[in-house]
A = this chain, B = another copy of it.
């Protein structure tokens, strides 16, 4: 099977223009087929502040009310997505910006939770690999914003990490998928404050040990759990590492590789 890179870029890169430019240059140079999934950075929060829309939090989790949904739709699917698309076009990388609603690539529903109403937050039912495969095979590189919709036409704010994972899983039927989570840290760290303590490789057994010994930073646990779930669903490889080191993540000279064995 042909290689496909499914690459998620974290929010911090989007907030820093120079870092974003440099990342997009690296991304455009990947000769293989690829999909980019992006978050939103701090721009949505900034815009909400400017408009006097207060962020609602329940148990530390952000609630997407109708005004916040409007903002994230504008920022993620509009400003951020189209800027990335236009910049990659100028690098001769022929991109197509998509939300989950476009070409019906992601089917989602409003989150149902026994005690908390998260508002307009989407959980993914399915990814439709066919249109994505068609775009990729016709030479287009999809750039995906974390906005989906339900079957009633309601837009929903959706976690970009989860979108990356679900797309990687769905595309594994057609490609040898490498899922790359690129963010601000160099990988999974033994000491969260020291970027030099990257663990080069984690398998299930080692992961259990690390968790037992509480050596893993709590924020990393969902990312690694997702990585194993992806591997169990046919994704070839999951790599977590620094966005600034994209080429080294791809050639395995940087970051943390999550593996079965």
Chain A interface residues (CB < 8 Å from chain B): 50-51, 70, 73-79, 81-83, 85-91, 94-99, 101-104, 131, 134, 138, 140, 147, 149, 151-155
Contact = CB atoms under 8 A, between A and B. Distances in A.
User: How many chain copies?
Assistant: 2
Contact of A86 (B76, B95, B98, B101): B101
A101 B79 contact: no
A152 B152 CA distance: 38
Contacts of A90: 149, 151-153
Given A78-B73, A78-B74, A78-B75, A85 B102 contact: yes
Contact of A96 (B73, B82, B102, B155): B102
Contacts of A91: 153
A137 B76 CA distance: 29
11 contacts: A70-B79, A73-B78, A73-B82, A76-B78, A82-B102, A85-B101, A85-B102, A86-B149, A89-B151, A96-B98, A131-B140
> 5 tightest A-B contacts by CB?
A78-B78, A90-B153, A74-B74, A86-B149, A74-B78
A140 B78 contact: no
A89 to B, nearest CB: 6
A81 B74 CA distance: 10
Given A90-B152, A96-B102, A96-B103, A79 B73 contact: yes
A63 B48 CA distance: 25
Contact of A104 (B94, B98, B131, B149): B94
